[in-house]
Chains A and B, each alone.
Chain A
Amino acid sequence: MDASNPLAGAAVVAENLSIRFGTGDAATLALSDIDLTIGQGDFVSLIGPSGCGKTTLLRAIADLVQPSSGLLRVNGMTPEAARLARAYGYVFQAPALLPWRSVARNVTLPLEIAGMGRAERQAEAERNLALVGLADFARKFPWQLSGGMQQRVSIARALSFKPSLLLMDEPFGALDEITRDGLNLHLHELWASSGLTGVFVTHSIPEAVFLSTHIVVMSLRPGRVVEVIESALPRLRRLEDRETPEFLALSHRVRAALYDGHGHG
């Protein structure tokens, strides 16, 4: 890290970031003047009502959307340079597995594209599938797996490049509550043991509070950051912790900030 550059130490830095879709009268402001710093090793949830631009912010970090104005740096680089340097893994709302590839070959896809050798690829896939608890399913095909398992495969795939940054766009939104709890715990343990930086888009307050070191509350039209709430919960958490007064107090604070933001809209 370049010590002379104050931005270099952070995983993500946004300054006065605005994103506009369309032109002229039809233009809509998706994100307005976002200032946000995500430190290395943090787990940050972006929470807000539908259409508040949280997915757009995540996509901008991933270089899937271009900022209209302002500054955005990922690991001290432009989003494009970070993408080319394979600095992040991205987990989409849907698993987006390729149905004609086995689970193992879905996980090796990014490595195949990066030009890694076959044996090395396979070893890497085994390791990443073991991380998400699916080592025994390598030879299965996506349609033979449940929705939760498919999403775990897509997380294993996102870990392929050994990224320092994991971007997740409501990855568990379509799953039932019990599966979701299990995956949240799994993701939490994965993050806690790996030193990854996580950016997580969600609608769910308990999910955000359970997973995050920082919760970014956003508001609607235009998308703005209302408040960044730092969690005082211990770094390592168990599902039972969701019943503690500290957890509930934090949830309450997030909810209040959300309704606050709504009031301005």
Chain B
Amino acid sequence: MTKKALPVATVLVAVLILWYAAAVWLNAPQAEALMDPDQPHGLWAVAQACWSMDRPVLPAPDQIASALIYSVFGFPLSSPRNLLLQAGYTAETTVIGLFFGLILGILLAIGIVHIRTLDRSVMPWVIASQTVPVLAIAPMLVVALGAMGVTGLVPKAAIVAYLTFFPVTVGMVKGFRTPDPLQLDLMHTYSAGEMTIFAKLRWPSAMAFLFPSLKVAVALAVTGAIVAEMPTGAQVGLGARLLAGSYYGQTMMMWSALVMASLLALAGLLAVTLLERGVILLRGGRL
């Protein structure tokens, strides 16, 4: 841990210095316009003005931090203005969508590995599905499902599942195919059927591929959930806050939603990593 701490801290400090400098550079034209032209003002005064604007082009890190803290603690948890509540909506979409994406991805991989026709016919479609930008498909899906009377969580979770099944399918197809001919021969000498081979050999072999796929899927899931929240009329969630912030020029609102979104993704990655550690522990130290 201590070995990592110093390099990480160094990078953090460098980023913060660059950030404050960038804030001055981007905000200076507006800040100077707001200042009294008759009063002489030095560079430091301009910089301070740049770091304390109400609607800066680029807010300073401390402004984002205080905006974030205010949006979490400044309102009761039940208030729609509480960012934690909005993050909760996004987290709900993310987790449910990810769950269904995971199930769909694994089922597709099982089919592709065991059924030759599926291998030939489905895999190209799986790849093609991901060449359509999610920004294009999300509104269409929301509108189409809305016309069928399906609104709220379901269309959003569907978009997340659509994004997340892909890395899971690709990883698990590879994982289910890792057992070598020797291991398959071994199972054959035990007269093991396909179901048994799957349970005792293919599934445990694929674990080493599941967790990397899941980490990619988590990052995609948060992005997917936020994108999915935008065309639904931006009612709830971090996506709604981002959209509202950009609509009203509230950069600090956008930035705090952004930071919250990355915290959400980080929490998801942490959960997957912990799960992975647990599985490694159960398997005697190796995945």
| Cα(A113)–Cα(B194), bound, Å | 12
Contact across chains for B188 and A110 when beta carbons are under 8 A apart: no
Interface residues on A, range: 20 to 34
Hey, which chain A residues are within 8 Å of B191, CB to CB?
83-84, 86, 113
| Cα(A143)–Cα(B283), bound, Å | 11
Q: Does B14 reach chain A (CB closer than 8 Å)?
A: no
Hey, which chain B residues are within 8 Å of A96, CB to CB?
182-183, 186
Contact across chains for B200 and A109 when beta carbons are under 8 A apart: yes
Contact across chains for A113 and B192 when beta carbons are under 8 A apart: yes
| Cα(A92)–Cα(B183), bound, Å | 10
Contact across chains for A64 and B188 when beta carbons are under 8 A apart: yes
Hey, which chain B residues are within 8 Å of A94, CB to CB?
182
- Which chain A residues (39-96) contact chain B, with CB distance < 8 Å? 59, 62-64, 83-84, 86, 88-90, 92-94, 96
Q: Does A114 reach chain B (CB closer than 8 Å)?
A: yes
- Which chain B residues (167-219) contact chain A, with CB distance < 8 Å? 182-183, 185-192, 196, 200-201, 204, 207
Hey, which chain B residues are within 8 Å of A143, CB to CB?
285-286
Contact across chains for B204 and A100 when beta carbons are under 8 A apart: yes
Hey, which chain A residues are within 8 Å of B196, CB to CB?
113
| Cα(A112)–Cα(B200), bound, Å | 10
Contact across chains for A102 and B284 when beta carbons are under 8 A apart: yes
Q: How does the 8 Å CB contact mask read for A11-54 relative to B, with 1 for contact and 0 for none?
A: 00000000000000000000000000000000000000000000
Hey, which chain A residues are within 8 Å of B185, CB to CB?
59, 64, 90, 92
Q: Does A141 reach chain B (CB closer than 8 Å)?
A: yes
Contact across chains for B284 and A100 when beta carbons are under 8 A apart: yes
Which residue of chain A lies nearest to B280 when distances are taken between CB atoms in the complex?
A100
| Cα(A44)–Cα(B251), bound, Å | 82
Our pick among A100, A114, A144 for the contact of B190 (Cβ within 8 Å) is: A114
Q: How far is the CB of B155 from chain A (nearest CB, A)?
A: 39
Hey, which chain A residues are within 8 Å of B190, CB to CB?
86, 109-110, 113-114
| Cα(A94)–Cα(B182), bound, Å | 8
Hey, which chain A residues are within 8 Å of B188, CB to CB?
63-64, 83
Q: How does the 8 Å CB contact mask read for B273-287 relative to A, with 1 for contact and 0 for none?
A: 000000000011111
Contact across chains for B283 and A100 when beta carbons are under 8 A apart: yes
Hey, which chain A residues are within 8 Å of B182, CB to CB?
92-94, 96
Contact across chains for B189 and A90 when beta carbons are under 8 A apart: yes
Q: How far is the CB of B196 from chain A (nearest CB, A)?
A: 6
Q: How far is the CB of B183 from chain A (nearest CB, A)?
A: 6
Q: Does A99 reach chain B (CB closer than 8 Å)?
A: yes
Our pick among A83, A90, A102, A114 for the contact of B186 (Cβ within 8 Å) is: A90
Hey, which chain B residues are within 8 Å of A102, CB to CB?
284
Which residue of chain A lies nearest to B285 when distances are taken between CB atoms in the complex?
A141
Our pick among B183, B189, B207, B283 for the contact of A62 (Cβ within 8 Å) is: B189
Q: How far is the CB of B104 from chain A (nearest CB, A)?
A: 25
Q: How far is the CB of B168 from chain A (nearest CB, A)?
A: 20
Q: How far is the CB of B211 from chain A (nearest CB, A)?
A: 13
Q: How far is the CB of B197 from chain A (nearest CB, A)?
A: 9
Q: How far is the CB of A236 from chain B (nearest CB, A)?
A: 30
Q: How does the 8 Å CB contact mask read for A225-260 relative to B, with 1 for contact and 0 for none?
A: 000000000000000000000000000000000000
| Cα(A63)–Cα(B183), bound, Å | 15
- Which chain B residues (50-86) contact chain A, with CB distance < 8 Å? none
Q: How far is the CB of A128 from chain B (nearest CB, A)?
A: 15
Hey, which chain A residues are within 8 Å of B285, CB to CB?
141, 143
Hey, which chain A residues are within 8 Å of B183, CB to CB?
96, 98
Hey, which chain B residues are within 8 Å of A100, CB to CB?
204, 207, 283-284, 286-287
Which residue of chain A lies nearest to B283 when distances are taken between CB atoms in the complex?
A100
Contact across chains for A98 and B201 when beta carbons are under 8 A apart: yes
Smallest CB-CB A-B distances: 7 pairs: A141-B284, A100-B283, A90-B189, A96-B182, A113-B190, A110-B190, A100-B204
Additional pairs, 20, CB under 8 Å, beyond known A102-B284, A113-B187: A64-B188, A86-B190, A86-B191, A89-B189, A90-B185, A92-B182, A92-B185, A94-B182, A96-B182, A96-B186, A99-B283, A100-B204, A100-B284, A100-B287, A110-B190, A113-B192, A113-B200, A141-B284, A141-B286, A143-B285
Which B residues contact A (CB, under 8 angstroms)? 182-183, 185-192, 196, 200-201, 204, 207, 283-287
17 A-B pairs whose Cβ atoms sit less than 8 Å apart in the complex? A64-B185, A64-B189, A88-B189, A89-B189, A90-B185, A90-B186, A92-B182, A93-B182, A100-B283, A100-B284, A100-B287, A112-B200, A113-B192, A141-B283, A141-B284, A141-B286, A143-B286
